Structures are given as C-alpha cells and as structure tokens.
C-alpha cells in the first residue's frame, strides 16, 4: 500500500476509534462524524428535548478549529511536509489531552459534567485538524470519518470489476483507493468498542497513542526526505 492511501487509512482507524469511544463513553456524542451531531441536535430542537451540550458545542468548535487549521496551513505555505507535521501534531495534542483527562473523571458515568465536555471537545478539535489535513495536503480530498461516499465508491468499483471480468483499470484504481478507508474505519470502530468495553473511560488513550504513532512516523519520513 503506497503512502497516498496508507496515511488516510491510518487516519480512518484513528477517526473510527475516536468516534466510537466518544459515542460509548460520552453519552452518545459523535466526535468525528459531526453530521451526526447536527442530526441529533435538530431532532432535539424539533421534539423539545434539551440538546446535549457537547453535541451542540461540537458543531461551532469543529468549524472554528477547521478555520484555524486552514489559516495555519496557509501561513506555512507550500511546504506540505511541514503542514502535515503541524496538523498531525495538533491532532495528537488534543487526543493526548482527551486521554489524559479521561484518568481524572469517570466521564461515562457523568457525560454532562464539565470535564466530560472538555474531553469531547478535545476529540472534536483533533478530528477537525485531521479533516483539514485531508482537504489541504493530499491532491484529492478523502473522507476518513463519513463512510457513505467510500462505501458507494467501493460498491460501484467492485460491480464494474465483476461486470467487466477485471478489465476495468479505472474501477480497480477506485477500489484500491476506497476499500482501505472502509476497512480502517470499521477496524477503528471495533478497536474503540473493544477498548471501551475493557478499559472504560481509559480507552480514550487508544486514539491518542495511535495519533502520536502517526505523528512520529510522519516526522521520521520528513527527516529521511530531507537527508536525501
């Protein structure tokens, strides 16, 4: 698997773990799939249910953080390696903060507490930096959190491959680009669910560890490229 798809796949795993742990441990709140929070808040408004604070805050926080990430990337300029390090570093920083805070409170038992809300917002900020990276650095924006488009692309590609008996290079390319993202996100969801079941609130350290590992790999790759 080449770098162009390996990094988005790794980000899909991180997004899946982060989304599931926030959903299971923070009272049914999406940290990566922000569209889900829009749906939940809209339904709450129509039914007269008081919206969940963290789900309500997630929307403007995600937007503002994405704007901050964009400004930071534009100021750095055309050095894509440096932009990658900065955005991956910010993602790791916020997930590490969420993981560290998960040891200070039993957020799953008190999902509306102040610390639980801060944990959730840290996860949202991390996902905003991840998504900003996907729209700024790679030549084609990929989705690592919302899988509907990737699923459709994979099904269409697979159908064309079967229909043409493998004689469809464009379809094979689309399949190669879409299935790892699906597998990564589903795998991340399973890891997150298993972690939440085994470790409860402390499972928030799993996406943090993955984000730090990805940052270190990016730093190593940048160092190698500059020594050539």
Task: Kindly report, residue by residue over 15-57, the tens digit of the pLDDT.
Answer: 999 999 999 999 888 999 888 888 988 998 899 888 788 889 9
Closest CA to 92 of 132, 126, 58: 126
d(CA 42, CA 143) in angstroms, rounded, equals 23
Domain that holds residue 223: 3-142+188-227
Q: Has residue 154 been placed in a domain?
A: no
Q: Has residue 168 been placed in a domain?
A: no
Closest CA to 58 of 112, 127, 155: 127
Q: Has residue 40 been placed in a domain?
A: yes
Q: Has residue 149 been placed in a domain?
A: no
Q: What's the total number of domains in the chain? A: 1
Give the tokens for residue 135: 């729209």
Portion of the chain with pLDDT greater than 70, in percent: 99
Q: Has residue 150 been placed in a domain?
A: no
Q: Has residue 156 been placed in a domain?
A: no
pLDDT at 1: 59
pLDDT at 225: 79
pLDDT at 16: 97
All residue ranges of the chain with pLDDT < 50 are none
Q: Has residue 167 been placed in a domain?
A: no
Q: Has residue 158 been placed in a domain?
A: no
């Amino acid at each position: 698997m080449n770098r162009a798809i390996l990094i988005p796949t790794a980000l899909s795993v991180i997004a899946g773990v982060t989304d599931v742990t926030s959903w299971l441990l923070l009272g049914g709140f999406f940290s990566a799939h922000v569209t889900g929070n829009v749906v939940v808040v809209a339904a709450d408004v129509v039914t007269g249910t008081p919206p969940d604070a963290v789900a309500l805050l997630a929307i403007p926080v995600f937007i503002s953080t994405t704007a901050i990430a964009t400004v930071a990337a534009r100021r750095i300029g055309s050095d894509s390696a440096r932009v990658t390090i900065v955005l991956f570093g910010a993602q790791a920083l916020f997930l590490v903060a969420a993981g560290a805070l998960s040891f200070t409170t039993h957020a799953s038992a008190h999902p509306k507490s102040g610390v639980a809300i801060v944990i959730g917002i840290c996860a949202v900020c991390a996902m905003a930096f991840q998504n900003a990276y996907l729209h700024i650095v790679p030549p084609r924006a990929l989705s690592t959190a919302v899988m509907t488009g990737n699923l459709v692309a994979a099904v269409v590609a697979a159908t064309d491959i079967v229909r043409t008996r493998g004689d469809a290079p464009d379809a094979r390319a689309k399949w190669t680009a879409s299935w790892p993202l699906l597998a990564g996100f589903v795998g991340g969801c399973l890891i997150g669910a298993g972690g939440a079941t085994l470790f409860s609130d402390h499972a928030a350290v799993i996406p943090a560890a993955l984000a730090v590992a990805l940052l270190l790999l990016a730093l190593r790759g940048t160092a190698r490229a500059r020594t050539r």
